[in-house]
Amino acid sequence: MSLEHKNNLTWDEEYLYIVIPEYLDELARKYNLRFKVVSCTETAMYNEDCCLLIGVDNRDGIILSTVVNDNGKKVEYSTNIFFRVSIDDSDTEGLDLSDKHLNVIIRNDLIILSRNLDSKWSKYLQGDMSWLEDYKKCSSYYEYHNYMEDRNKRLDEIIAWQQEQRMKKTISTENRDLLRVKNDD
């Protein structure tokens, strides 16, 4: 992004394009995650196995939801409270949580999110879906059904990319197994 464009960003756009990737970059590199802006207030952080939507709200800070490919059907779950209940002192260590300026709240939320996902939700980031059964039993369970058209298109692109990556992995494994059988002969 050019500096000129950066200077013309609105508050929300700045967080979507610059701040979210800045604070989640280490986590993204560790779990091979990508970033994609999916609406005027949301960025998707995704890899071939998971898709976490990070929303910026100018009242509440960061809001989280998860998009799952359920047998070709896109399902979005409001996972904000579900992930936040696992936050502990190790996730907030060294942060000044008394500062109530929104930009500080969002920065702290992103740092806490990164620490929390890495220390307690690494299996989620690696595609383990066991969390979903627990989530469906909790009081904060909520499944979204309304998608804005542009946002829906961007989420479809992410789901298609994830399916393509899984297919490549499957083909690669099958080819490796075939080579192994031929070499054994």
Residues 20-40: tens digit of each pLDDT: 888 899 999 999 999 988 877
Query: What pLDDT does residue 4 have?
Result: 36
Domain count across the chain: 1
- 123-134 mean pLDDT: 90
Query: What pLDDT does residue 177 have?
Result: 61
How many CA atoms lie less than 13 Å away from 39 in the CB half-sphere?
A: 14
Domain range for 78 is 3-184
Report d(CA 135, CA 58) in Å as an integer: 26
| CA distances (Å), origin 82, targets 110, 116, 136 | 16, 12, 10
Query: What pLDDT does residue 5 have?
Result: 39
pTM for the structure as a whole: 0.73
Report d(CA 64, CA 125) in Å as an integer: 14
